[in-house]
Amino acid sequence: MSSASPFDGLAEDYDRERPRYPRSAFEWISSKCDLASATTVVDVGAGTGIVLEGLLPHLPADCRVVGIDYSHDMIQVGSKKFPDVEWIQGEAETLLAPLAPIDLITAGQSYQWLDRERFLAEAYASLNSRGGLAIMQNNRDYHSGGFADAYETLLETFSPGYRRDYRKIDVQAELRTTFPTVNLKQFRWTQEKTPEQFMGMSASSTQSQAALHARGTEYTAALKALTAEWSSADGLLTIPYVTEVYLGQK
């Protein structure tokens, strides 16, 4: 990770606007990892606690829960939401070992920002003998066409260096370099937003911020026109998502 988080200054908007993970994803993790008996769980790149929102209901009341993030702004928001969680600012790659033994480590969208080879080694070493690492990814399903595809084209046009497959990491292959058992589960779902709500969500992303800095009002006008074009008769946009959960276990 760099010395400055790209999410500093975005925390409030990020927490309000970013899509959540489906409940079924956490139910699947819980069924695989026996979370009812967990004593220590660590969320890496915890941000404002979006993964924790879905995870905490599956943990026992006396479970030690730790959220690690590099951004001070994100932790400020997260700690207000979840004051009983232990929050640590810094690089997860250096902070897992002192927390061992860990029952479950989770990482959401943050996985792409990590020194992944080092992180996987540290995660494996810090887990208990039956521990697991769950990587969760929320991706707009642009393969389905429609608005999701058109929005990616817009970002590729206005956001410098952006490609829709920028997060095309073979997570399963990476986990298999370290974990003997790796499972993948996909969850397809849709979200409806008004054009104004979608523009708010878009503004909370680093890719959209880059487009704003590069092209300013030109980008904003193009995004507004796109959301108007794809809105339904009742004024809503339908955004398809695919949530992928990769689970590595000892």
- The residues spanned by each domain of the chain are 10-141+167-191+241-249
Query: Mapping DSSP to helix (H, G, I), strand (E, B) and coil, where does residue 246 land?
Result: strand
**CA–CA dist 200, 154 (Å, integer):** 16
Quickly name the fold that domain 10-141+167-191+241-249 has: Rossmann fold (3.40.50)
Q: What is the mean pLDDT of each run of 10 residues along the chain (250 residues)?
A: 60 92 98 95 98 98 98 96 98 97 97 96 98 97 97 98 90 98 98 96 92 97 98 98 98
pLDDT at 6: 60
List the beta strands (DSSP E) in the chain. 40-44, 64-69, 86-89, 102-107, 127-140, 181-193, 237-249
- Residue 213 one-letter amino acid: H
Per the CB < 8 A criterion, the answer to whether 106 and 45 are in contact is: no
pLDDT at 7: 63
Strand partners, 86: 66
